[in-house]
Amino acid sequence: VIVNSMFRNNGTGIRGVRLFKNGTTPLGETDLPPLSGADEFFPLVLEVSLNSGDYIVVQTWQSSGGAINGRLMAFQMIFLGS
């Protein structure tokens, strides 16, 4: 699973992206402090084992105390099996 999200610049708080399996099981997370004056990109790459009916939830979050524009730039899944 490959995810890349983006937040507009803001000098306060932390930003991050999380992945969950079936909406509840945490798979991984990346978070970073703000970069003043620059948009921030958050890549997250994980190898995940999925069964038929399983699904992935991507959650982006921030703790600036106010609204910050953000978006999911890319979501990709690659099958690595037989």
User: Residue 67 and residue 33: Cα distance in Å, rounded?
Assistant: 16
Give the model confidence (pLDDT) of 12-54 as tens digits.
Answer: 888 888 999 999 999 999 888 877 777 888 888 999 999 999 9
pLDDT in the model for residue 48: 92
Count the neighbouring beta carbons within 10 Å of the beta carbon of residue 64: 14
Confidence tier at 82 by pLDDT (50, 70, 90): low
Distance between CA atoms of residues 78 and 50, nearest Å = 11
Predicted TM-score (pTM) of the model is: 0.76
